[in-house]
Copies of this chain bind each other. A is one copy, B any other.
């Protein structure tokens, strides 16, 4: 950002909105003034939402998006990680379209005692001491993003590549990272429905991250069915621990290895993906991956014994099988319906202030391409009661499409985009 002109006065807000509306390019100083004014409450929400809609239609150049990202990063605390030695790398996934089915934090909180809230000082200390921390966004990180996202959510302006880019990157840059690997999920159940949209977002984040002098890679990954077999908070955590023990479902292992290998490469701890994968496999084989997980859990107040003894995680009282009504091959699994089944069991939220049940969820027993005989178990529901099991069963049956022949397998990692300096 060599062209910063913070000292110059900028045009009134309506003129800036009209400039963007008419396809003009906003100057970094203009974008900074907009973000600062909005964060300070001087620019009302009705102007910001009109601007967001104009951006939706007119898009932004990488330079505009970078200026927006940096201005949003600078709206709050920017963590100073200089006391921590070595490269700082983070990973982000664009996740599902369905907002409330339980996020990463919910899965971590399924570990008894685990705390995801932490002061900035404690965060920096933990990363310095054990090399990793898994935390939620603190209120002082990119407050402009929080306000703008809440506004976009109710004004039809979520689906804008530059606004999504700035939202994701501003928070990550505020953490003090050197590098970032982005997992852009593609599919009907994902936030990005088409390869075209996913590629546009991946390109935008890599380009803007590079403009912000970070090493950024983005992977387009298929979300044509739920990843792994487990759906639900403790069940997914347990499945993740399986991977650390050298087990776990094939697709989950494949994606985890691909993302982690790219993180190692960006951190310059491996020169090639092959070298990175060797290191990762060794870390699983020699137990250091499990040890790192136990260290993190212990540092964040959780019970580290869960890693090797996952029965210590919350468990639902009953397991109810969902049986196939007829024979065939699994042609499709609607991730959204599966998510709704999990919600019905109590694993997600319909309102943001709702408590979730960490124990409930489901385990898929058949995935894309699997052969199914009539009465085979398609999935196991981990439930509290009959009533929710009944609704979830219907959802699971609705999610599965069976056909005579199995579909062709598509690769999980569709493509990887890397920045010039990555």
* Residues of chain A at the chain B interface (Cβ within 8 Å): 13-15, 17-18, 21, 44-54, 56-57, 151, 153-157
Contact = CB atoms under 8 A, between A and B. Distances in A.
Contact of A54 (B13, B51, B156): B156
Contact of A155 (B17, B151, B153): B17
A251 to B, nearest CB: 32
B50 A47 contact: no
B151 A14 contact: no
Ranked nearest first, the 4 interchain pairs of A and B with the lowest CB-CB distance are: A17-B156, A53-B53, A50-B155, A45-B46
- Main SS of chain A's interface residues? helix
Contact of A46 (B13, B21, B46): B46
A156 B51 CA distance: 9
A361 B404 CA distance: 87
Contact of A53 (B13, B15, B44, B54): B54
A47 B47 contact: no
Interface centre among A17, A50, A54, A56 (most CB of B within 10 A): A50
A332 to B, nearest CB: 25
A47 B49 CA distance: 7
30 contacts: A13-B154, A14-B154, A14-B155, A14-B156, A15-B156, A17-B155, A17-B156, A18-B156, A21-B53, A21-B56, A21-B156, A44-B46, A45-B45, A45-B46, A46-B48, A46-B151, A46-B154, A47-B155, A49-B49, A49-B50, A49-B53, A50-B50, A50-B52, A50-B155, A50-B156, A50-B157, A51-B156, A53-B54, A54-B156, A57-B57
A53 B18 CA distance: 10
A52 B47 CA distance: 11
A47 B157 CA distance: 10
A56 to B, nearest CB: 7
Contacts of A151: 46
A18 B155 CA distance: 8
Nearest to A22: B156
A15 B153 CA distance: 10
Q: Which of A18, A46, A153 has the most CB of B within 10 A?
A: A46
Contacts of A52: 50
Contacts of A157: 50
A154 B47 contact: yes
A151 B151 CA distance: 17
Contacts of A155: 14, 17, 46-47, 50
Contacts of A13: 154
A14 B157 CA distance: 9
A13 B14 CA distance: 24
Given A46-B46, A49-B49, 10 more contacts: A13-B154, A14-B153, A15-B156, A21-B53, A44-B45, A47-B49, A47-B154, A49-B53, A50-B52, A50-B156
